[in-house]
DNA sequence: TAGATTGTTAATCGATTAACAATC
DNA sequence: TAGATTGTTAATCGATTAACAATC
């Protein structure tokens, strides 16, 4: 039994952000057929400290065995459960450009339980075209579609100018989370969860780090 | 004159990661024609504290004026300079799937100084096809191409299985930074800078946060 | 059992915030 | 000048690491 869970300690953000990484490494180890691993060994693979690994896990329970380590399968299942990967998540994509298409076509997302039920765009050139096994719909029909077929997640992959308007429609239509690829800090209404991917920010960070390094040489 | 720069305080990672956000907001304000802004007002827009904003800027110099605030134009130029946006950055993309295409076609990246000189793939179906004004080349020719036309940045948008091998070729060919979209922790050789975009990790974080919220209701 | 390794507590380190003297 | 707001120091908060008793 977990000491932490009944004490209701809130899980630090930094820990939450590492959970997918744990999942990724454990999945890899599972594929490799590894049966057990110590915090020491796993942390070396992940380039973190074994203290951090054990501390992180302790927020969710006790998954190892003293003197032995962790069973890879068990820990993998535990992390999957913590992340909620046993569930299915329904989503629509707004913006049928390359990013939207990439998300539909990347098999990793559906494997993780993301089910995309519709893709929308406002460009007549895109509307009606095929993306995977979906047909791009006119964004004019987004609200109607969601009324008929509600989803949990809205994926915003429009140009920045359209993003906020689209986000409001999604929120009004009852999505509980938004996965946002537009370079904008979305205004929320209600208690929707917004998870941002800012590609441009990442690129600029890379630029900075390149120059930083240069300075040193 | 900056007190911090001559004392050579190293800039915290957390600060570096916020620089692109400052840049983004200031660019927006510039477009809106705003001339001056106080740390108070800007921090409210960005949903951070004004203390943090001033503290962050202080790592790089003094950009404001007591009793007045900051000139938007001046601060924008300063942040641009800190990020190294006056320079051009050359890059090749390996992996001509949707992510690779999105990067070539997104105008924001070239506006920020990213110049993509080549795109490569190993799939005969993609090789020879047009992406923007580039023709997809066979990844077999990657090393040769880079010998002739060196670049600073390698963008890895291949499937995970190919990513490490591609990264080694890039590093061997002298790239100084890698922008990695594959869900893998790349092994480095030499002192290359690796900046990761893990879409899958972001999605899993969204899942977790959706469930977390559910628990509370 | 003896050795290994967990889970957890306490210490350290880093990041954020509050407060205010300096100053425009 | 008087009011406003910066830049910076010090206090607080949160995250990481070290250390070790518990225990398999």
Per-residue model confidence as pLDDT tens digits over A78-102: 999 999 999 999 999 999 999 999 9
Instruction: Reply yes or no on whether the pLDDT at B1 is more than 70.
Output: no
What pLDDT is attached to residue B215? 61
Q: Is the pLDDT of residue A2 over 70?
A: no
Q: What does the pLDDT read at residue A213?
A: 75
The shortest C-alpha distance from A140 to chain B (Å) reads 24
Q: Do A207 and B97 touch (CB under 8 A)?
A: no
d(CA B161, CA A201): 26
pLDDT in tens, B16-43: 999 999 999 999 999 999 999 999 999 9
**Average pLDDT value for residue range A39-61:** 98
CB B26 within 8 A of CB B69: no
DSSP single-letter state for residue A69: B
Residues B75-85, mean pLDDT to the nearest whole number? 98
Q: What Å value separates CA A27 and C1' D19?
A: 31
pTM of the model: 0.95
Nearest of A106, A81, A134 to residue B204 by alpha carbon? A81
Is B213 close to A203, i.e. CB distance below 8 A?
no
Nearest CA in chain B to A186: B46
Q: CB–CB of A68/A96 below 8 Å?
A: no
In this prediction, residues B157-167 reach a mean pLDDT of: 98
Model confidence over A105-151: pLDDT tens digits? 999 999 999 999 999 999 999 999 999 999 999 999 999 999 999 99
Which residue, counting CA atoms, is nearest to the C1' of nucleotide D9?
Answer: B55
What is the mean predicted confidence (pLDDT) over A167-194? 97
> Using the beta-carbon criterion (under 8 Å), do B185 and A85 form an inter-chain contact?
no
Q: DSSP string covering B11-62, please? A: PPHHHHHHHHHHHHHHHHHHHTT--EE-HHHHHHHHTS-HHHHHHHHHTT--
Q: Determine the pLDDT at residue B155.
A: 98
Nearest CA to A17 out of A47, A69, A56 is that of A56
* Three-state SS at A22: helix
Report the b/e string of B94-119 with b at 16+ CB within 10 A.
Answer: bbbbbbbbbbbebeebeebbbebebb
Place A6 in a pLDDT band, splitting at 50, 70 and 90: very low
Spell out which residues of chain B touch residue A153, defining contact as CB-CB under 8 Å.
206, 210
Residue A215 reports pLDDT greater than 90? no
pLDDT of residue A65: 97
| B44-56 confidence digits (pLDDT tens) | 999 999 999 999 9
Q: Has residue B7 got a pLDDT over 70?
A: no
Six token digits for residue B90: 């050359």
- Domains by residue range for chain A, with CATH: 3-81 (1.10.10.10), 89-201 (3.40.50.720)
Q: How many other CB atoms sit within 10 Å of the CB of residue A54? A: 16
DSSP class of residue A206 equals H
What's the average model confidence in pLDDT over B175-185?
A: 98
Question: Burial level of B1, CB count in 10 A (0-12/13-18/19+)?
Answer: exposed
What is the reported pLDDT for B213? Answer: 74
Choose the closest CB to A105 out of B89, B98, B114.
Answer: B98
User: What confidence score (pLDDT) does residue A217 get?
Assistant: 47
Cβ B89–A210 below 8 Å, yes or no? yes
pLDDT in tens, B132-151: 999 999 999 999 999 999 99
Q: Which two tokens stand for residue A10?
A: 């809130």
Residue B20 has a CB neighbour count (10 Å cut-off) of 23
Q: Could you give the 3-state DSSP secondary structure of residue B153? A: strand
Whether residue A1 is predicted with pLDDT greater than 50 in this model: the reply is no
> Which chain C nucleotides are covered by protein, judged by CB under 7 A?
2-10, 14-19, 22-24
């Amino acid at each position: 039994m977990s000491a932490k869970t009944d004490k209701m300690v809130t899980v630090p953000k930094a820990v939450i952000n590492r959970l997918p990484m744990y999942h990724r490494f454990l999945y890899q180890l599972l594929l490799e057929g590894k049966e057990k691993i110590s915090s020491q060994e796993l942390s070396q693979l992940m380039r973190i400290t074994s203290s951090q690994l054990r501390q992180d896990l302790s927020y969710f329970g006790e998954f190892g065995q003293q003197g032995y380590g962790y069973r890879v399968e068990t820990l993998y299942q535990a992390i999957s459960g913590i992340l909620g990967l046993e569930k299915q998540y329904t989503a629509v994509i707004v913006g049928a450009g390359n990013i939207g298409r990439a998300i539909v076509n990347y098999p990793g997302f559906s494997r993780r339980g993301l089910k995309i039920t519709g893709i929308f765009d406002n460009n007549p050139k895109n509307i009606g075209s095929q993306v995977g096994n979906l047909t791009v719909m006119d964004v004019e029909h987004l609200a109607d579609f969601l009324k008929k077929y509600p989803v949990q997640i809205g994926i915003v992959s429009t140009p920045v100018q359209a993003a906020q308007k689209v986000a409001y429609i999604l929120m009004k239509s009852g999505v509980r989370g938004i996965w946002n690829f537009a370079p904008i800090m979305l205004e929320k209404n209600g208690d929707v969860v917004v998870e941002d991917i800012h590609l441009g920010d990442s690129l600029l960070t890379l630029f900075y780090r390149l120059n930083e390094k240069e300075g040193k040489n």
